[in-house]
């Protein structure tokens, strides 16, 4: 799971920087996915390199993902309008928020599964 966390973090950094560039650098908030991604990648790297800190780093990463999902979840309600081709105010921002929410929801699902598996797995 730590290496997956690093990959998701890098994906979010790329996604955030791309969103910022595509929107013309008008708003610094387009970099929020990049910030969350960098923090996730740091958590993943700590978990890879410091075995004793792995559970703490992974729980912090899951918490960051949850905060990211909660912060972007409202954009998911605009997804049907986007799919139907209806006008959505600040379309690039909505698309970026939906993308971030979906990436983090998938990551959060894998995190919860990993935590449950670790809890069920007997200690060696």
54 Cβ neighbours under 8 A, 6+ residues apart? 2, 46, 47
* 32-73 pLDDT tens trace: 999 999 999 999 999 999 999 999 999 999 999 999 999 988
Is the pLDDT score of 29 beyond 90?
no
Q: Where are the domains of the chain?
A: 2-120
CA distance 3 to 100: 19
Q: Of 32-46, 84-98, 106-120, where does the model show the most confidence?
A: 32-46
CA distance 15 to 104: 12
């Amino acid at each position: 799971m730590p290496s997956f966390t690093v990959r998701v973090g890098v994906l979010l950094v790329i996604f955030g920087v791309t969103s910022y560039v595509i929107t013309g650098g008008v708003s610094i908030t387009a970099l929020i996915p990049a910030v969350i991604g960098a923090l996730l990648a740091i958590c993943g790297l700590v978990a890879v390199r410091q075995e004793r800190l792995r559970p703490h780093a992974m729980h912090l990463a899951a918490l960051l993902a949850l905060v990211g999902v909660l912060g972007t979840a409202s954009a998911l309600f605009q997804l049907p309008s986007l799919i139907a081709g209806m006008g959505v105010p600040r379309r690039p921002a909505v698309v970026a928020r939906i993308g971030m929410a979906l990436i983090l929801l998938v990551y959060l699902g894998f995190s919860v599964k990993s935590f449950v598996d670790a809890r069920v797995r007997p200690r060696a």
